């Protein structure tokens, strides 16, 4: 009996020692991998502290963000209708839309989006024109234009909040940009072209509200506003091209919009503001943060809710996860600096936290290049119209314009151009990197985001004629 007990205890001891050694080896391997990941960041000159990527403080008297916020609050305080009774003949869907957009900001933004997409009905256009005539809209536009003239724009954010960071104002500024663009179009169609082009400049400047924000979703809103701005410029050109001074103002803004630096800063910001915030938390705070991150659906039982954070925080797994996260974010930041590619493979393996924290960076790069294509086509189109005004005809090729740097961001080759009747067709080959001869992408009929996107066809500006709506 005694020998049997000794054998059992010896076996248990061997197992315990083996498990301890395995744990120690796994921790050592994970720690070494993490050190190499950090060393690669430092060698590449990537920022290592949140303070390195935060926008500088701005005095209130120089901060355009405060006036944008004021304009949004002013429109939110105004009901979209003087009477909330539904008009005769209004469908149930329209009634629901009205309920969602009771305030002037929401309703104007919704109608402005339909105008930009070319989908607005005569009845809704009349409503848009009536709402644009409100005194509150005049005050809001004055605030927006004044804010756009200020030298800086900084949103107030609590960057220490990590994954709990709140981003108020993002959708509001996008709504304001839509409204400004719609107002510009209405003014142009009424013959007030100088006023229309001033508003187009203001809309273009609104994108600067998020240029310095080190957060990817802020950069996505900025990209959307730039696309809206390009759509407005293209539409106004079909009514009356800008004069030399107006063209130069637009060109000056668009010239800086294709800079990828804000997006790279945002990738580094995501890594530090959200990723490092989580991976470097003390254990008890980490458990709470992991619980909040992994149990968002609220359907886990108490035991599972207790167990999952502890499993995710198990040191060998946690270190490997941390290292994998750093490597993926670093590789994607590097990928943004080179020629376009859809994105590097994201190796999540057993790195569950990495899978939860890493955004769809490949798709974000594609959206950025689509925006760059829009800005470069818009700049090239403005130059073509200026050439036609000077020489009486469009050039046979873009070479006559000396458009340095206006290449197709998807292939690093020239933008495609051809004369089309009395106008022209300008296009980029788009994310599939295939020349489809200037064929625009068909409208997506199924809005289900889970279904695969159609990557075919080109990004197009046909002038004059039916303009392809800007991506929003």
Q: Which residue has the tokens 């329209």?
A: 94
Residue 96 Cα to chain centre, angstroms:
28
In sequence order, what are the residues at sequence separation of 6 or more whose Cβ sits closer than 8 angstroms to the Cβ of residue 335?
341, 343, 344, 361, 365
Distances in Å between the alpha carbon of 403 and those of 8, 358, 396, 408, 422? 82, 37, 14, 12, 22
Position 138 scores a pLDDT of 96
pLDDT in tens, 84-93: 445 555 565 5
Q: Strands 459-463 and 416-420, how do they pair?
A: unpaired
Do 111 and 186 meet the contact criterion of CB atoms below 8 Å apart? no
What pLDDT score was predicted for residue 286?
78
* Residue (of 202, 203, 181, 185) closest to 240 by Cα position: 185
Q: What's the confidence (pLDDT) of residue 447? A: 46
* Separation CA 234–CA 447 (nearest Å): 26
User: Helices then strands (H, E): number in the chain?
Assistant: 17, 5
Whole-angstrom Cα distance, residue 440 to residue 434?
12
- Widest Cα–Cα separation across the chain: 108
Q: Contact, 41 vs 135, CB < 8 A?
A: no
**Beta bridge partners of residue 418, listed in sequence order:** 425
pTM: 0.87
Please give the angle made by the CA atoms of 81, 229 and 175, to the nearest 5 degrees: 30
Q: Which two tokens stand for residue 385?
A: 């119209």
pLDDT at 81: 74
Torsion of CA 368, 370, 373, 377, to 10 degrees: -130
Token readout for 70 is 């004021």
Structure token digits, residue 124: 């809704």
Q: Which among 391, 385, 402, 386 has a CA at the least distance from the CA of 463?
A: 385
Task: Tell me the backbone φ, ψ of residue 92, rounded to 5 degrees.
Answer: -65, -45
E strand map for 356-458: 407-408, 413-414, 416-420, 423-428
Q: What angle do CA 61, 67, 71 make, to 5 degrees?
A: 165
| 178-196 CB burial, b ≥16 within 10 A, e <16 | bbbbbbbbbbbeeeebeeb
User: Is there a contact between 210 and 257 (Cβ–Cβ < 8 Å)?
Assistant: no
Structure tokens at 472: 């929003």
- Strand segments, DSSP code E, in 265-415 are 407-408, 413-414
- Identify the pLDDT of residue 97: 57
Contact partners, residue 439, CB within 8 Å, separation at least 6: 457, 458, 460
* Cα–Cα distance measured from residue 124 to residue 113, given in angstroms and rounded to the nearest whole number: 11
Over its length of 472 residues, how does the chain's per-residue pLDDT go in tens digits?
577 777 777 777 777 777 778 778 878 888 899 999 999 999 999 999 999 999 999 999 999 999 999 999 999 999 987 544 455 555 655 555 555 568 999 999 999 999 999 999 999 999 999 999 999 999 999 999 999 999 999 988 999 998 888 888 899 999 999 999 999 999 999 999 999 999 999 999 999 899 999 999 999 999 999 999 999 999 999 999 999 999 999 999 999 988 999 999 999 999 999 999 988 888 877 777 777 766 554 455 666 666 767 777 778 888 888 999 999 999 989 988 888 876 665 665 567 788 888 888 888 899 999 999 999 999 999 999 999 999 999 999 998 888 877 899 999 889 999 999 889 999 999 998 888 887 776 655 444 444 445 555 789 999 986 544 444 4
What's the pLDDT tens digit per position in 344-387? 656 655 677 888 888 888 888 999 999 999 999 999 999 999 99
Enter the tokens of residue 33: 């991998």
List CB contacts of 120: < 8 A, sequence separation 6 or more: 111, 114, 128
> Residue 341: its pLDDT value, please?
79
3-state class (DSSP) for residue 133: coil
Residue 441 confidence (pLDDT): 62
């Amino acid at each position: 009996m005694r020998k049997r007990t000794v054998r059992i205890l010896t076996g248990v001891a061997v197992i315990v020692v083996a498990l301890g050694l395995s744990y120690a080896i796994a921790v050592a391997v994970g720690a070494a991998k993490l050190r190499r990941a950090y060393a690669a960041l430092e060698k590449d000159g990537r920022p290592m502290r949140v303070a390195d990527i935060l926008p500088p403080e701005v005095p209130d008297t120089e901060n355009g963000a405060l006036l944008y916020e004021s304009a949004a609050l002013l429109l939110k305080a105004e009901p979209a209708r003087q009477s909330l009774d539904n008009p005769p003949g209004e469908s149930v869907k329209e009634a629901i839309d009205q309920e969602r957009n009771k305030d002037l900001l929401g309703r104007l933004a919704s109608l402005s989006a339909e105008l930009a997409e070319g989908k607005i009905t005569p009845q809704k256009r009349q409503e848009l024109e009536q709402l644009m005539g409100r005194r509150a809209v005049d005050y809001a536009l004055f605030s927006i234009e004044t804010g756009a003239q200020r030298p800086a724009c900084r949103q107030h954010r609590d960057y220490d909040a990590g994954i709990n960071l709140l981003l108020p104002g993002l959708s509001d500024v996008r709504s304001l940009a839509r409204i400004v663009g719609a107002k510009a179009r209405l003014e142009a169609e009424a013959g007030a072209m100088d006023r229309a082009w001033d508003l187009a400049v203001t809309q273009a400047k609104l994108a600067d509200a998020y240029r310095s924000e080190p957060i990817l979703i802020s950069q996505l809103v900025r990209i959307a506003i730039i696309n809206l701005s390009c759509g407005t410029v293209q539409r106004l050109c079909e009514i009356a091209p800008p004069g030399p001074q107006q063209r130069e103002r637009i060109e000056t803004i668009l010239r800086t919009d294709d800079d990828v630096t804000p997006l790279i800063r945002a990738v580094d910001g995501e890594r530090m503001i959200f990723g490092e915030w989580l991976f470097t938390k003390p254990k008890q705070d980490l458990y709470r943060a992991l619980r909040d991150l992994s149990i968002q659906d609220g359907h886990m039982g108490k035991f599972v809710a207790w167990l999952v954070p502890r499993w995710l925080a198990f040191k060998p797994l946690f270190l490997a996860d941390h290292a994998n996260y750093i490597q993926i974010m670093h590789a994607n930041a590097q990928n943004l600096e080179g020629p376009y590619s859809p994105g590097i493979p994201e190796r999540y393996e057993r790195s569950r936290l990495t899978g939860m924290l890493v955004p769809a960076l490949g798709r974000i790069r594609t959206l950025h290049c689509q925006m760059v294509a829009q800005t470069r086509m818009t700049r090239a189109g403005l130059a073509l119209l200026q050439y036609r005004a000077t020489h009486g005809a469009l050039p046979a090729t873009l070479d006559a314009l000396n458009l340095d740097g206006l290449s197709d961001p998807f292939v690093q080759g020239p933008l495609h151009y051809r004369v089309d009747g009395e106008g022209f067709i300008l296009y980029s080959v788009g994310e599939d990197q295939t020349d489809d001869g200037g064929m625009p992408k068909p409208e997506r009929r199924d809005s289900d985001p889970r279904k695969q996107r159609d990557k075919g066809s080109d990004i197009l500006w046909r002038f004059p004629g039916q303009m392809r709506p800007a991506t929003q």
